[in-house]
């Protein structure tokens, strides 16, 4: 799986804790299972720098190395997000994928179809939308492992101070604000703000969140919504975006024009940014405030880009696919996800529309009320859906 995206906070000890707790959960779960109790779980954290100083695309290098690792049997299972999984599938093929990987559809050629070994009724606790992103037609290629969405963590200022009152007013208006409204008001208040654009996915998330504030990017509303990005309107839209992005420059000598997530987290810790735009799963950093008082807000208009991760099984593995499927079910089951939520802040892939009738979901929401409230209010933006058109190239090229 990719290394965690906040390296200054998640160092070696954190990786070891994750590796050990995942294996301990699995070992306890299978101790009486003769088919599985001889197996252990080890985790390789793939180095995923936000910026490649050589200028090469980080996602492209990752996808190419992933293909090599699968064919060389370097790992039996992989945790992939939906911007990688099945991103090679589209009505229109592209020679670029074959040129880079020697496969036309790596997701189908390198990964097991787990539907042969899994009862779909066992997956009904997952959010249907999240579950669908791991499927190709009737094939189950990836099992939902964890979910995520973009949020803003705000400074816990001294109550009744000017900074505190200004921030509280911003939060009160966040549902109605666009990104432009928020940033303009912060300028008036002289409140500092930094955003990370070092990671390509963070930048793409922001572009879609910013654009969704102004345009309805759904085919239900407008079958030709993608024209927003290439018609006459796009000129002014891109100009506004360019000017806005230029405001968030880093002091980094290696890349003075791009602030990484680590940069912005540092600015947040030294009170040089009012908000820290990050993921809901980063809530573990802020638990010192208590789960019920996380300093968390949804982005403007409450529109937030989502990220969902899936556990997939390698066709080249020497382990039988039915064993891999059984292991995948255990590592993605309810209790496993709740365990990772407790230990690492992971956001479960559950269908929270059932929380009134599901005691496990009720317990989660009682334990993490701020996260659960955000999930109730958020307007989720599914990046893959926005770029899913019969006339579009596979998302592989966009990623």
pLDDT for 55 beyond 70: no
Verify that 322 and 260 share a domain, yes or no: no
Average pLDDT value over all residues in the chain: 90
Sign of CA dihedral 175, 178, 179, 180: negative
Q: Which residue has the tokens 């208040």?
A: 189
pLDDT in tens, 145-181: 999 999 999 998 788 899 999 999 999 999 999 999 9
Domain match, 111 and 62 both: yes
pLDDT at 260 over 80: yes
Least reliable range by pLDDT among 227-241, 280-294, 306-320, 375-389: 280-294
Give the residue carrying structure tokens 């820290």: 276
Q: Which of 48-57, 154-163, 240-249 has the highest mean pLDDT?
A: 154-163
Instruction: Please tell me whether residues 160 and 132 are part of one structural domain.
Output: no
Same domain assignment for residues 165 and 282: yes
Closest of 145, 172, 167 to residue 273, by C-alpha: 167
Q: How confident is the model at residue 58 (pLDDT cuts 50, 70, 90)?
A: confident
Domain final residue, candidates 264, 279, 305 = 305
- Together in a domain, 75 and 187: no
Cα–Cα dist 204/208, whole Å? 6
User: Residues 102, 185: one domain?
Assistant: no
When mean pLDDT is compared across 84-98, 130-144, 270-284, 367-381, the lowest value belongs to 84-98
Q: Which of 41-45, 82-86, 278-282 has the lowest mean pLDDT?
A: 82-86
Is 233 within a domain?
yes
Instruction: Judge whether residue 377 has pLDDT over 80.
Output: yes
Looking at residue 391, its pLDDT comes to: 62
In angstroms, rounded to a whole number, what is the distance separating the alpha carbons of residues 292 and 66? 39
Local confidence band at 20 (pLDDT 50, 70, 90 cut-offs): very high
Of 285, 305, 325, which one is at a domain's C-terminal end? 305
Q: Give the pLDDT confidence score for residue 224 in this predicted structure.
A: 83
Answer whether residue 229 shows pLDDT above 60: yes
* pLDDT (average), residues 179-192: 95
Residue 95 confidence (pLDDT) above 80: no
Share of the chain above pLDDT 90, in %: 64
Contact (Cβ atoms closer than 8 angstroms) between residue 10 and residue 4: yes
Q: Is residue 124 part of a domain?
A: yes
Q: Is residue 3 part of a domain?
A: no
- State whether 158 and 245 are in the same domain: yes
Rounded to 10 deg, the angle between the 200-214 and 179-189 helix axes is 100
Condensed to tens digits (0 to 9), the pLDDT of residues 301-353 reads: 999 999 999 999 999 999 999 999 999 999 999 999 999 999 999 999 999 99
242-259 burial, b if ≥16 CB within 10 A, otherwise e?
eeebeebebeeeebeebb
Residue 289: pLDDT over 70: no
5 in any annotated domain: no
- Determine phi and psi for 265, rounding to 5 degrees: -60, -40
Same domain, 294 and 157: yes
Domain boundary among 274, 305, 336: 305
Domain with 112, as residue range(s), is: 12-148+308-370
Residue 253 has pLDDT above 60, yes or no: no
Cβ–Cβ under 8 Å, residues 206 and 217: no
- How far apart CA 18 and CA 391 sit, in angstroms, is 42
- Count of domains for the chain: 2
247 and 206, same domain (yes or no) = yes
Q: Are residues 93 and 175 in the same domain?
A: no
Residue 389 lies in a domain: no
Is residue 395 included in any domain, yes or no? Answer: no
Among candidate residues 122, 202, 79, 152, the one with its CA nearest the CA of residue 378: 152
Query: Is pLDDT at 252 greater than 60 in this prediction?
Result: no
Residues 84 and 190 placed together within one structural domain of the fold: no
Q: Is residue 227 part of a domain?
A: yes
**In this model, does residue 373 exceed pLDDT 80?**
yes
Residue 6 has pLDDT above 90, yes or no: no
Q: Is residue 256 predicted with pLDDT exceeding 50?
A: no
**CATH code assigned at 87:** 3.40.190.10
Residue 299 sits in the same domain as residue 153: yes
CA-nearest of 14, 19, 15, 100 to 59 is 100
Contact 107, 88 (CB under 8 A): yes
Whether residue 211 contacts residue 217, with contact meaning beta carbons closer than 8 Å, is answered with: yes
The dihedrals phi and psi of 140, each to the nearest 5 degrees, come to: -95, 105
Reduced to 3 states (helix: H, G, I; strand: E, B; else coil), residue 59 is helix
Question: Which of the four pLDDT bands, split at 50, 70 and 90, describes residue 247?
Answer: confident
As a whole-number percent, the residues of the chain with pLDDT over 70 amount to 90
Please give the pLDDT value at position 214: 93
Per-residue confidence (pLDDT) for residue 394, from 0 to 100 = 66
Tell me, yes or no, whether 375 lies in a domain.
Answer: no
């Amino acid at each position: 799986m990719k290394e965690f995206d906040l390296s200054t906070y998640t160092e070696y000890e954190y990786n070891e804790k994750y590796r050990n707790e995942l294996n301990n959960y699995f070992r306890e779960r299978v101790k009486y299972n003769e088919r599985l109790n001889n197996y252990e779980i080890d985790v390789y954290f793939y180095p995923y720098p936000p910026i490649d100083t050589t200028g090469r695309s980080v996602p492209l290098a990752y996808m190419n190395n992933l293909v090599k690792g699968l064919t060389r049997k370097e790992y039996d299972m992989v945790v992939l997000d939906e911007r990688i999984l099945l991103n090679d599938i589209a009505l229109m093929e592209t020679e670029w994928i074959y040129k880079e990987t020697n496969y036309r559809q790596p997701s189908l050629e390198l990964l097991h179809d787990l539907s042969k070994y899994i009862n779909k009724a066992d997956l009904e606790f997952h959010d249907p939308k999240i579950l669908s992103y791991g499927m190709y037609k009737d094939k189950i290629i990836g099992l939902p492992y964890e979910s995520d969405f973009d949020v803003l963590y705000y400074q816990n200022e001294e109550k009744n101070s000017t900074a505190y009152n200004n921030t509280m007013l911003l939060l009160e208006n966040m549902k109605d604000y666009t990104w432009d409204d928020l940033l303009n008001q912060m300028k008036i208040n002289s409140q500092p703000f930094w955003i990370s654009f070092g990671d390509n996915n963070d930048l793409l998330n922001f572009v879609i969140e910013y654009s969704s504030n102004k345009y309805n990017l759904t085919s239900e509303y407008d079958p030709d919504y993608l024209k927003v990005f290439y018609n006459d309107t796009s000129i002014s839209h891109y100009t506004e975006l360019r000017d806005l992005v230029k405001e968030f420059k880093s002091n980094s000598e290696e890349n003075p024009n791009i602030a990484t997530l680590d940069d912005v987290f540092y600015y947040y810790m030294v009170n040089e940014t009012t908000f820290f735009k990050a993921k809901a799963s980063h809530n573990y950093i802020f638990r010192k405030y208590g789960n019920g008082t996380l300093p968390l807000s949804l982005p403007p208009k409450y529109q937030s880009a989502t990220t969902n991760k899936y556990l997939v099984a390698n066709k080249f593995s020497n382990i039988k696919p039915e064993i891999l499927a059984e292991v995948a079910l255990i590592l993605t089951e309810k209790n496993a996800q709740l365990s990772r939520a407790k230990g690492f802040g992971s956001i479960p892939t559950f269908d929270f529309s059932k929380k009134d009738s599901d005691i496990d979901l009720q317990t989660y929401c009682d334990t993490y009320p701020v996260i659960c409230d955000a999930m109730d209010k958020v307007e989720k933006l599914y990046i893959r859906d926005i770029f899913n058109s019969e006339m579009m190239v596979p998302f592989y090229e966009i990623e």
